Structure 1
Amino acid sequence: MTNVRDRVIRIIAEQAVLEPSDIRPEATLDELGIDSLGVVESIFAIEEAFDISVPFNANEPQASDFDISSVDTIVAGIERLIAEQHG
């Protein structure tokens, strides 16, 4: 089984229409060319891939407990949610 980071990067790369190798850990979704609809689609894909529920408010992303400021923070948040929801 692939690790969380690799799966998240694959999902984000698909949304950004990039190769996974082009995704830098410190990159923001905006830098990768992912718009707000792409962010929502990424969150849905991540929820489905990991069987988790992401506390993300698409209308107010800054008000969410889920940090989408970079690829690294998304991976960290998902790892935390997996531990909380499946631990």
Structure 2
Amino acid sequence: MTDDITQRIRAIIAEQAMLEPEQVSDEATPADLGIDSLGLVESIFAIEEEFDISIPFNANEPEKSEFDISTMGTIIAAVRRLVAEKNG
């Protein structure tokens, strides 16, 4: 069973990738889902808005970002951490 945060993130990513949320697995990379760099930035903005958080991601230098975008699982884990910090 997936929690609410995971479901909401998968829905955002799936919309960007034009997929169904259940097609977004934790192991999938943005590239696996057909999401390019612009799509990834749009997804990050949508996640920030959905959860009222600020994601430390620099689209110009993603490798220097503290926000791990390597897979959907790492994105979900990072968003969970940011939401927990916000709700403290």
Indicate the TM-score class for this superposition, using the shorter chain for normalisation.
over 0.9
Task: Structure 1: state its 5+ residue gaps.
Answer: none
Tell me which amino acid in the other structure corresponds to 2:76.
Answer: V
Cα displacement (A) at 1:16: 0.2
Q: What's the CA shift string for 1:31-80, capped at 9, x where partnerless? A: 10000000000000000000000000000111000001000000000000
Gapped runs of 5+ residues in structure 2?
A: none
Partner of 1:62: 63
Task: Show the counterpart of 2:75.
Answer: 74
TM-score (norm 1): 0.95
For residue 79 of structure 1, give the secondary structure of its aligned residue in structure 2.
helix
Letter matched to residue 14 of structure 2? A
Moved over 6 A (4+): none
- Written as runs of structure 1 = structure 2, the 5 A alignment for 1:1-87 is 3-87=4-88
State the shift of 1:86 in Å.
2.2
| TM-score between both structures, scaled by the size of structure 2 | 0.94
Alignment RMSD = 0.9
Amino-acid identity (%): 62
Which whole-Å CA distance do the structure 1 matches of 2:22 and 2:81 have between them?
24
Distance 1:5 1:33 in 2: 19
